[in-house]
Amino acid sequence: ITKKVLMLPGDGIGPEVMRQVQRVMDWMAKKRDINFDVTEGLIGGASIDAHNNPLTDETLADAMAADAVLLGAVGGPKWDNLPFDIKPERGLLKIRKEMGLFANLRPALVFDALVGASTLKEDVVKGLDIMILRELTGGIYFGQPRGVEERDGVRFGFNTLVYSEPEVERIARVAFDMAMKRNKRLCSVDKANVLESTVLWREVVERVAKEFPEVEVSHMYVDNASMQLVRNPKQFDVMVTTNMFGDILSDCAAMLTGSLGMLPSASLGAADETGARKALYEPVHGSAPDIAGQDLANPLATLLSFAMMLRYSFDMGEDATMIETAVQNVLKGGLRTADIMQPGMAKVSTTVMGEAVINELNKL
Amino acid sequence: ITKKVLMLPGDGIGPEVMRQVQRVMDWMAKKRDINFDVTEGLIGGASIDAHNNPLTDETLADAMAADAVLLGAVGGPKWDNLPFDIKPERGLLKIRKEMGLFANLRPALVFDALVGASTLKEDVVKGLDIMILRELTGGIYFGQPRGVEERDGVRFGFNTLVYSEPEVERIARVAFDMAMKRNKRLCSVDKANVLESTVLWREVVERVAKEFPEVEVSHMYVDNASMQLVRNPKQFDVMVTTNMFGDILSDCAAMLTGSLGMLPSASLGAADETGARKALYEPVHGSAPDIAGQDLANPLATLLSFAMMLRYSFDMGEDATMIETAVQNVLKGGLRTADIMQPGMAKVSTTVMGEAVINELNKL
Ligand SMILES: CC(C)[C@H](C(=O)O)[C@@H](O)C(=O)O
Ligand SMILES: CC(C)[C@H](C(=O)O)[C@@H](O)C(=O)O
């Protein structure tokens, strides 16, 4: 059975990094007889330009029908001054919500060859390997009521942070499952000394913990977590947190690695009766409009997002590992795109980097 | 006129670091003829133990009557499992709210002598000097409705993030004033691509900016800000943000310096007709129950908080600078409490550190 993949290149450097994934797919078809049925679609600014809408019903239907979605990047200055309701980001938030992608997996990984790129000292980050689970379809991102209103002549802006017990339960379960596959340590991040919503969060995590007696669970306030990530990030294995805290902490953790251009992510929905989950994969970096279209972007985060797709959506762990190994070998060989360039290394283009990954795949 | 100061030593190491401030006050009385009328009070766990209440009306009345409040630290494992409503933290939140301390000043400063203590590379943090303005009496910390409720058999936890235009305006004004006294650059941090409350925030900051044409103002999303603090913290001069984002980012920025035991803070209210403001000063570090009562704690953050009091509440900038210089000279002399100990330096107790500051003051 062929796997149906929807590709959403999006804006900025999205299309050019996506092309390198297409090459790896072609290689897999030829060399490993694995075929993907690929559809392309528009999202974000590209979709606004074409349809005045950052996510059309048609693209959403394609996403729902696909086995997995691969996204490039969304947004850019061209669309920055659009009203709140039709900004490119709206497309991203809508696709997450409509597909029910409640579990955002954000690995923060330091590649040995790139440890020097971090602003942190080598001993603090060498070997860093954290998995952050961010709740992605709830919390203050989606809570009602929300808006800006005038009351007695004074304007107020308001949002609602809300979590139900089942919402916390399902993300907690994904986090514990993940911890079981890793080093069996889970840190749940909340602000239970101030926010009642996260008092409930902590209570539910505690309850789910009973189902996973092998996992060592801890709780940390979000302000302390942001300090601990800087002080000693290697203390963490898996972290789980709310949508908003996850947005902040996962970006902080990503930057600890010093190579944002290397980091993939996955957003997963609930498993259906057959065990299949809706899923969307995307690099952590943005659309980088300043270098778009110049063959300068780093395609590795998108290739590694594709590897995550193979592992989580298609149970093709072996092929995922092949791609990851190929990427590591390319780095060891000294090739670097501009964003991860280091003295003494060879600076290459997006295309040459993609080519190099294929070459390494051929050697495996 | 003598200055009325309320001292709230609080819990853990609070009392012992506070004693070192008392010594500096005595020195000021003797050598500079500056007298403080000091009252002591209880807050947090200490107040719970005595009165079953983390902040009594009596202490609050003393705080309202004082020209300035100096706080040690609040909380500890002894009170961790108390119900949400009577935890030590409640005392802190209540005193902030009742005194109207809406502007929290959180400097993140790297002392030359301690640059090696940071987990970040020396060139990234040497000379770092950021001032974070955190809104402290609004936002999701205090918004209504809040709580945990059952609806149709499902439990929900919820909080409300709310800002009114005047609330944003007054903190923005403090931030711009601060920027004018510093390097005239202000970065306002929000999540205006997702949260309507911060769309209003951004709009108001933009409007206040017109009153300060000399200040270069920028806006940054909170996830990006958490990355930029790690990537290149020296790009920032003054930052202003909401209560919750400020809680997270100011702790992250504090940890960049590597010496939490050195960082003071100030929380200020609105100026009255005479120009006087309610104010509370406290070190950024916590109550450190593990080392409490052992004469091991670093008193410098509390001494520097007292210096901030002199500067912001009593317009005694010269005396403030004296204390800051004395602290720097002690560090140059090689004395270190355990938390900032480095190879080749002399490890000293809380008391000896306080003594050393007095000695340096005598030399100035
Ligand atoms: C673009 C924005 C809406 C989005 C978010 O806040 O979730 C982004 O920051 C992310 O983390 O994917
Ligand atoms: C103790 C807690 C309520 C408090 C806060 O969140 O404001 C603390 O973290 C701080 O930053 O002063």
pLDDT (tens digit per residue) in A173-216: 999 999 999 999 999 999 999 999 999 999 999 999 999 999 99
In a domain, B118, yes or no: no
Q: What is the per-residue pLDDT across A29-79, written as a single tens digit (0 to 9) for each? A: 999 999 999 999 999 999 999 999 999 999 999 999 999 999 999 999 999
What is the secondary structure of B16-36 as a DSSP string? HHHHHHHHHHHHHHHHH---E
Give tens-digit pLDDT for A287-336.
999 999 999 999 999 999 999 999 999 999 999 999 999 999 999 999 99
Residues A239 and A333 reside in one and the same domain? no
* Chain B residue whose CA is closest to A203: B157
Say whether both B100 and B170 belong to one domain.
no
Kindly determine whether residue B158 and residue A143, on different chains, have CB atoms separated by under 8 Å: yes
The yes-or-no verdict on residue B1 having pLDDT over 80 is no
Question: Which of A11, A67, A190, A247 is the catalytic position?
Answer: A247
pLDDT value of residue A236: 98
Instruction: For B20-47, write each residue's pLDDT tens digit.
Output: 999 999 999 999 999 999 999 999 999 9
Q: Which of A201, A230, A252 sits opposite B157 (nearest CB)?
A: A201
Segment B161-206, tens digit of pLDDT = 999 999 999 999 999 999 999 999 999 999 999 999 999 999 999 9
Domains: count for chain A? 2
Q: Is a pLDDT exceeding 80 seen at residue B96?
A: yes
Residue A182 in domain: yes
pLDDT at position A305 is: 98
Ligand 2 centroid vs B84 CA: distance in angstroms? 14
Residues annotated within a binding site of B for substrate: 96, 106, 134, 223
How many CA atoms within 13 Å lie on the side-chain side of B291?
19
Average pLDDT over residues B231-258: 98
Q: Which chain A residue shows the shortest CA-CA distance from B146?
A: A196
Same structural domain, A146 and A248? yes
Clarify whether residues A164 and A134 are in a common domain: yes
Q: Which of B212, B234, B256 is the C-terminal boundary of a domain?
A: B256
Q: Given pLDDT bands bounded at 50, 70 and 90, which one contains residue B330?
A: very high
Last residue of a domain, one of B197, B224, B256: B256
Residues B102, B7: one domain? yes
Residues in the annotated binding site of B: 76-89, 96, 106, 134, 223, 247, 251, 286-298
**Whole-number average pLDDT of chain B:** 97
Domain range for residue A360? 1-109+260-364
Assess if residue B117 is contained within a domain. no
Q: Which residues of A touch B196 (CB under 8 A)?
A: 84, 146-148, 157-159
Radius of gyration of chain A (CA): 20
Q: Measured between CB atoms, which of A154, A160, A227 is closest to B166?
A: A154
Q: Which protein residue's CA is at the shortest distance from atom 10 of ligand 1? A: A247
Q: What is the strand order of the sheet A277-283 is part of?
A: A36-40, A3-10, A68-73, A277-283, A264-271, A103-109, A129-135, A238-241, A185-190, A216-221
Tell me, yes or no, whether B15 lies in a domain.
yes
- Interface A:B, Cβ pairs < 8 A: 183
The per-residue pLDDT for B80 is 87
DSSP of A51-68, one letter per residue?
HSSSS-HHHHHHHHHSSE
Q: Residues of chain B with pLDDT > 70: what percent? A: 100
pLDDT tens digits, one per residue of A215-271: 999 999 999 999 999 999 999 999 999 999 999 999 999 999 999 999 999 999 999
Model pLDDT, residue B303: 98
Positions of B marked catalytic: 141, 191, 223, 247, 251
pLDDT of residue B43: 97
Q: Is residue B9 part of a domain?
A: yes
A247 classed as catalytic: yes
Distance of CA B247 from the midpoint of ligand 2 (Å):
7
Ligand 1, pocket-test mutation among A80, A82, A247, A248, most atoms within 8 A of CB:
A247
CATH number at residue B173: 3.40.718.10
Tell whether B168 and B283 lie within a shared domain. Answer: no
**Cβ–Cβ under 8 Å, residues B68 and B279:** yes
Which runs of E-coded beta strand occur in chain B? 3-10, 36-40, 68-73, 103-109, 129-135, 143-151, 154-164, 185-190, 216-221, 238-241, 264-271, 277-283, 335-336, 346-347
Identify the band that residue B2 occupies on the pLDDT scale cut at 50, 70 and 90: confident
Residue A118 resides in a domain: no
What are the distances in angstroms from CA A61 to CA A31, A57, A99, A103, A257?
32, 6, 10, 21, 36
Which of A80, A89, A280 best tests ligand 1's pocket when mutated (most atoms within 8 Å of CB)? A89
**Chain-wide mean pLDDT for chain A?**
97
* Residue A1, pLDDT above cutoff 80: no
Residue B116 lies in a domain: no
* Residues of chain A contacting residue B254, judged by C-beta atoms under 8 Å apart: 227
A97 and A133, same domain (yes or no): no
**Is the link from the previous residue into A289 a cis peptide, with omega within 30 of 0?**
no
The ligand whose atoms approach the alpha carbon of B44 most closely is: 2
Distance CA(B276)–CA(B108), nearest Å, equals: 26
Burial grade of B248 (CB within 10 A; 0-12, 13-18, 19 or more):
buried
Across the interface, of A119, A157, A195, the residue whose CB is closest to B120 is A119
Count the alpha carbons within 13 Å of A176 in the hemisphere toward its beta carbon.
21
**What are the distances in angstroms from CA B235 to CA B40, B217, B239, B265?**
41, 13, 11, 21
Q: How far is B66 from chain A (nearest CA, A)?
A: 27
> Which pLDDT score, from 0 to 100, does residue A118 have?
97
With CB atoms and an 8 Å threshold, state whether B226 touches A252: yes
Same-domain pairing of A146 and A251: yes
User: Measured between alpha carbons, how far is B171 from B85 in angstroms, rounded to an integer?
Assistant: 28
Confidence of residue B60 (pLDDT cuts 50, 70, 90): very high
Q: What is the mean pLDDT of residues B317-343?
A: 96
For the segment A159-184, the average pLDDT, to the nearest whole number, is 98
For residue A116, tell me if it sits in a domain: no
Mean pLDDT value of segment A6-35 = 97
Torsion of CA A339, A343, A348, A353, to 10 degrees: -70
Same domain, yes or no: B134 and B245? yes
Residue A2's pLDDT band (boundaries 50, 70, 90)?
confident
The whole-number pLDDT of residue A80 equals 87
Distance in angstroms (rounded) separating the CA atoms of residues B106 and B131: 6
As a whole-number percent, the residues of chain A with pLDDT over 70 amount to: 100
My answer on whether A167 and A133 are in the same domain is: yes
CB contact (8 A) between residue B199 and residue A84? yes
pLDDT band at B234 (very low <50, low <70, confident <90, very high): very high
- Does residue B141 share a domain with residue B230? yes
Quick one: pLDDT band at residue A354, thresholds 50, 70, 90?
very high
Atom of ligand 1 at shortest distance to CA of B193?
Answer: 3
Residues A205 and A285 in one domain: no
Coil/strand/helix, residue B155: strand
Boundary-marking domain end, from B256, B289, B316: B256
Enclosing H/E stretch for A233: none
B183 φ/ψ angles, rounded to the nearest 5 degrees: -100, 15
d(CA A316, CA A313): 8
pLDDT of residue A78: 94
